[in-house]
Structure 1
């Protein structure tokens, strides 16, 4: 892409002013026709004031749309938040998978008791029972006893009706849905970045329109002053021309402010405000546009097939259906293996170890309809997600249609606006020529200047609207990516 410049070079500025204004005057060098010389000088003075000093332009940072999008995808807080959600979903997959594996735990427990039951049991676990311990007095009123218990416990859920397996698959599908959500978030941020970038280009182009209007108004002021010195114009015409330049100077200040605000908004979208300081140059051919391609039906079909938010709802529906299977699996029996190895000691000087292994088979006979209610809830949630998916599909159709029609309308508006600019330029040329010959009042010339400025502004606005509509169409169809131009 060619480098976008807010200011035109002096040679082009002089040529433009000469074309619009200077061509309306005779090349005679006698009498009032000498206005052509100060006309060119005025154009050079205005251009010199508008163009930055030599070397200053090269020192300004340059930002391309590709760099802006890449930075936004990396640093935008919303994208980062979505990435954290994906990381959390990945951790949930690991958690769900752990239910399929055996669980091994180690523990260290300390007890001190005078309870007859626990004191006798503790001595049994320590392997320290003697005949004296069966004395009724010692049984009923034992001395305090300490115990350190070191235990290694193994448990393995062999079968639970498939509940753990289903949960693992749900977690993996949730992770995939999270990646789709991340993809959609990135697309939205890319669209927001591109739209803001185009807005910056528009602000710069509008500032350029004001610069051109200042050049033209300055040239016309020279003509009016020459006519006033020749007695062909009154002093009020000169004052009115100077008022016009003052108005344009105020517009120039406002245009500078709008450019800086637009750059600040771009930095905020990119997530790095310091990367887009005031004065940043944007590289882009703002006036280059291509006509929208494809029929509406093809765009809608693409959107229904590629929109990641629709795919995400499809996965959420699958997760909801699996939740129904998981709820029904609670009616099935469960089988778990258990093992325990422990060491008991009063003071670590002597110890006694033991182990226990076993299996637990469990089946629910009656839950007060708790399991059936969970199944009914899961079924209703699956139906809800399906309804939401259908509603989103309708919204995708409408979004795509809206963006398509707006793109078509904006493209046609570009040609209308461009024709209006050509007509305004020709109107200004004719009006300036007639004013030079004393056939029109100054107000007509000023009106023609305003008409040209407004036509140029509407032309750039039409270009901006079309680019925004193209971005919206790409976003609505799900085809927007980091390589968007």
Structure 2
């Protein structure tokens, strides 16, 4: 008795612990928290930001580059000394003395230079900018699709939580029923109306249901852990859904063009980016035109500017032949473009197949729903009849245990079918969301 009392206290304390740790949560709250805090969403947005900065980096093909420098030096190098005096505009007739030209005194020179470089025609840069812009748009669409996917995943996780709690409720009732049957069997055995083998069979059934109940509670914890992971929340919390597991209503008007779906459009844009890169590599065979200018100030004193001058010009450059580098790079970029096109076509074909398969999944789950419900109701009625007959000694123990196990099995199967039906609909919504 003392041992039994200790076990009762232990299980009661464990029940209180779970009750204290349970937190009710709705599907709407889950969806909001996932969208606000999920790490995968944040990572996809960071990828989109990096692509945006890559696009901004390509502004360099239009905007000038401006630099300012101030340089100081002292030299006795004949050429540098003569040039420094010339830049400072202090050259005199005496400086042409060969002795001074060949062996000058130390000259100090301070130069302040403001230089500007302005790209004019760089055709490869134009296409590189287009590729960067297309990549940025693709990353933004991928981030949108990640949000859509996490919506679907959150709904699936919430459904798993609902199913796990439902399984606990079903098995808890099955456990109570098995214990009630054990009490009746024990009374019948004590009165000599039941064999020991039948009593042991009932005890085995109680143990089996107890093990199943323990597994179901573990599944509740597992579902709660995954839900917390999706919401990026810490702590050992057992979530309890505030909404019952019931069949969702199907939107019959789900018509979509796959080409308008975010992930498919992103794949198309990736292909366009490769195309732009291919054209950019082909444009490297053409010359480039750039303008340049500089304003220069010289003096023999720091931060002074007694002598000034400027340079303005344009540069037309053409790399006629650089080994086989450009040919190889152009060939590789063309291959990448062809590969991207094939990947896009494959992705559309696969997405179409998945969409058709999901539609059939919804129809199949819908047809199984009513069947599983009827099977559950029939097994419930059968268990009720056999329980009454067993209490009157008119039913075999094995038949009662089989009816009890069948009812629990049909209940779990019914709720599993609801879960599969709801998940099929969620997947269909995800696959048809533009």
TM over 0.5: yes
Q: TM-score under structure 2 normalisation? A: 0.87
Question: Structure 2: 5+ residue runs without aligned partners?
Answer: 1-7
1:173 pairs with 2:173: no
Cα contact 1:335–1:359 (8 A) shared by 2: no
Q: Classify the secondary structure of the residue corresponding to 2:296.
A: strand
**1:98-129 deviations in Å (ceiling 9; x for gaps):** 32122221112233333221222122222332
CA contact (8 A) 1:72 1:193 kept: yes
Matched, 1:316 2:288: no
Counterparts of 1:48-87 in structure 2, within 5 Å, are 60-87=22-49
Q: What's the secondary structure of 1:152's corresponding residue?
A: strand
**Cα deviations across residues 212-264 of structure 1 (Å, max 9, x unaligned)?**
10222233234334444555335654554344334333332322222112111
Aligned runs of 1:351-366 on 2, under 5 Å?
A: 351-364=305-318, 366=320
Structure 1 residue 50: Cα displacement: 12
Q: Does 1:212 align with 2:173?
A: yes
Matches within 5 A, 1:190-339: 190-228=151-189, 230-234=191-195, 237-274=198-235, 277-291=236-250, 293=252, 302=256, 304-339=258-293
Shift of 1:389: 0.9
- 2:237 is paired with a residue whose SS is coil
Q: Deviations over 1:253-287 (max 9, x none)?
A: 3222221121111111222233xx43322122312
Gaps in structure 1 of 5+ consecutive residues: 1-44, 480-485
Residues of 1 paired with 2:13 and 2:275: CA distance? Answer: 66
CA distance in 1, matches of 2:365, 2:234: 31
- Quickly say closer, same or farther: Cα 1:307–1:163, change in 2 above 3 A: same
Which 10-residue stretch deviates more, 162-171 or 147-156?
162-171
Tell whether 2:433 aligns with 1:471: no
Q: Distance in 1 between matches of 2:257 and 2:292?
A: 53
Whole-angstrom distance in 1 between the partners of 2:46 and 2:319: 42
Per-residue deviation, 1:317:
2.5
Task: Confirm or deny: 8 A CA contact 2:294 2:312 kept in the other structure.
Answer: no
Alignment partners' CA distance in 2, 1:60 and 1:263: 10
1:392 to 347, 363, 373: 347
How far does residue 332 in structure 1 lie from its aligned partner after superposition?
4.5
CA distance in 2, matches of 1:132, 1:78: 76
Shift, 1:466, TM fit: 1.8
- Residue 125 of structure 1 contacts residue 352 of structure 1 at CA under 8 Å; is this kept in 2? no
Give the corresponding residue for 1:111: 73
Are the aligned partners of 2:379 and 2:410 in contact in 1 as well (CA < 8 Å)?
A: yes
Alpha-carbon separation, structure 1, partners of 2:195 and 2:330:
92
Q: How many residues are matched?
A: 423
Secondary structure (helix, strand or coil) at the match of 2:298 reads strand
Contact 1:291 1:411 in 2 (8 A): no
The answer for the alignment partner of 2:296 in structure 1 is 342
Moved more, 349-358 or 462-471: 349-358
Contact 1:62 1:283 in 2 (8 A): yes
Q: CA RMSD in A?
A: 3.0
Match of 2:306, SS state, is strand
Deviation at 1:87, TM superposition (A): 1.0
Change (3 A) 1:350 1:419: closer
Change (3 A) 1:365 1:87: closer
- 1: distance between equivalents of 2:159 and 2:257? 24
TM-score (norm 1): 0.78
1:59-117 Cα offsets, whole Å, 9 max, x none, are: 94322222222222222222111111111122122221232122221112233333221
User: Partner of 2:4 in structure 1?
Assistant: none
1:147 is the counterpart of 2:109: yes
CA shift digits 1:352-404 (9 cap, x unpaired)? 33232322241537325765655544443332221111111111112112222
Describe the shift of the 1:351–1:279 C-alpha distance in structure 2 as closer, same or farther (beyond 3 A): closer
- Worse overlay, 329-338 or 179-188: 329-338
Match of 2:386 in 1: 431
Q: Which residue of the partner structure matches residue 59 of structure 2?
A: 97
Q: Distance in 2 between matches of 1:330 and 1:388?
A: 27
